[in-house]
């Protein structure tokens, strides 16, 4: 197996491979991460998403927990049971050109026009060429539950906004098949108190990674290097919402820990330069 990261440093943006507690960068530099789980790097290096994905897609309602939570929250209940049972999965675009996706360690966003926001810890498959799965990463499909719950046609607004996605810290390439991944989510507040903790296993997913990729690529020229987040198996209780000042950690033993603080999405919007 191999573990790949990407970093910005004095030689620009470089790929690196993790070996024996170090990161060997393309320039030949060897860097020792401050923490081998989150892959936080010492200055002047900065960890980035393990690749600049041209597109990020998501699958939805691939786990019973996700179906049940949405049936509960939604004004329109049947669609979730129908899509969970149907051969065709729910697939939607989350981001393109990395405009709404932040690096590990950087702040994810929650919408000002929503009062109920959650992290969605998911395994992301990295697409190679011709539908091949090139590797696996950890993704956070940050979502607004009240906006989606009001009407499923609001899904793009519940899913697509500044800082609504993060993935990393690494891409894991197994020697043979993907193992069952165990995802642990922990959210802490600004004083370090745990406000939610839970876990899920990809073995409880109703579909396979390969099946999701196959559906995604039907008549759809998704560029290689794109990432497909494969759905959440973990939904915090209805009393939980993400707040600015919270800190989200998603851990998968083979891949590492994806960490992101939480801010208002409006703080992440930058003024566009004149064309
Ligand atoms: O149907 C809404 C989205 C579901 C989703 O993102 C998930 O199950 O992870
Ligand atoms: Mg999701």
* Tens digits of residue pLDDT in 127-183: 999 999 999 999 999 999 999 999 999 999 999 999 999 999 999 999 999 999 999
Position in ligand 1 atom list of the atom nearest CA 58 = 6
Distance CA 243, CA 250 (A): 17
Write down the pLDDT at residue 12: 97
For residue 183, the CA-to-ligand 1 centroid distance in Å is 16
Q: Can you tell me the mean pLDDT for 89-110?
A: 98
Q: Which residues surround ligand 2, an ion (CB under 5 A)?
A: 120, 141, 232
Residues with beta carbon inside 6 Å of ligand 1? 58, 60-62, 66, 70, 90, 120, 141, 148, 155, 231-232
Percent of the chain with pLDDT strictly greater than 70: 100
Reported for 80-87, long-range contacts at CB under 8 A and 24+ positions apart, including other chains, are: 84/206
Residue 270 has pLDDT above 90, yes or no: no
Question: CA 216, CA 130: separation in Å to the nearest integer?
Answer: 12
Give the number of the atom of ligand 1 that is nearest the alpha carbon of residue 141. 6
At residue 73, the pLDDT reads: 86
Q: What is the pTM of this model?
A: 0.97
Please give the pLDDT value at position 91.
Answer: 98
**pLDDT at position 75:** 86
How far is CA 46 from each of CA 3, 85, 99, 165, 166, rounded to the nearest angstrom? 17, 43, 19, 18, 15
- pLDDT tens-digit readout, 30-85: 999 999 999 999 999 999 999 999 999 999 999 999 999 998 888 887 999 999 99
DSSP 3-state of 46: strand
Mutate which of 231, 235, 250 to test ligand 1's pocket (most atoms within 8 Å of Cβ)?
A: 231
**Inter-residue contact 265 to 163 (CB < 8 Å):** yes
Q: What per-residue confidence (pLDDT) applies to 253?
A: 98
Q: How many whole angstroms separate alpha carbon 181 and alpha carbon 202?
A: 5
CA of 24 to the centre of ligand 2 (A): 33
The mean of the pLDDT values for the chain is 97
How confident is residue 118, by pLDDT bands cut at 50, 70 and 90? Answer: very high
Q: How does DSSP assign 88-128, residue by residue?
A: SPEEEEEEETTSSEE-TTSPEEE-TT-S-EE--EEEEEEE-
């Amino acid at each position: 197996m191999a573990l790949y990261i990407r970093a910005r440093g004095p030689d620009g943006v470089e790929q690196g491979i993790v070996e024996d507690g170090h990161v060997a960068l393309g320039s030949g530099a060897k860097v020792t991460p401050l923490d081998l789980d989150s892959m936080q790097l010492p200055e002047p290096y900065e960890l980035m998403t393990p690749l600049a994905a041209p597109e990020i897609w998501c699958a939805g309602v691939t786990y019973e927990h996700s179906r049940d939570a949405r049936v509960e929250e939604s004004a329109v209940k049947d669609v979730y049971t129908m899509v969970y049972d149907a051969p065709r999965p729910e697939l939607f675009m989350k981001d393109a050109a990395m405009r709404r996706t932040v690096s590990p360690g950087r702040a994810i966003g929650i919408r000002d026009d929503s009062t109920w926001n959650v992290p969605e810890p998911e395994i992301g498959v990295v697409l190679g060429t011709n539908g091949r799965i090139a590797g696996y990463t950890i993704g956070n499909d940050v979502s607004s539950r009240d906006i989606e719950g009001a009407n499923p046609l609001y899904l793009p607004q519940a899913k697509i906004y500044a800082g609504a996605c993060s993935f990393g810290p690494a891409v894991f390439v197994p020697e043979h098949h993907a193992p069952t991944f165990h995802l642990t989510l922990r959210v802490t507040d600004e004083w370090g108190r745990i406000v939610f903790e839970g876990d899920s296993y990809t073995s409880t997913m109703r579909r396979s990674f390969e099946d999701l990729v196959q559906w995604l690529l039907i008549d759809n020229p998704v560029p290689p290097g794109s990432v497909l987040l494969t759905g959440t198996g973990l939904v915090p209780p209805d009393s939980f919402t993400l707040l600015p000042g919270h800190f989200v950690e998603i851990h998968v033993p083979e891949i590492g820990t994806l960490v992101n603080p939480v801010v208002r999405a409006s703080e992440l919007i930058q003024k566009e330069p004149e064309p």
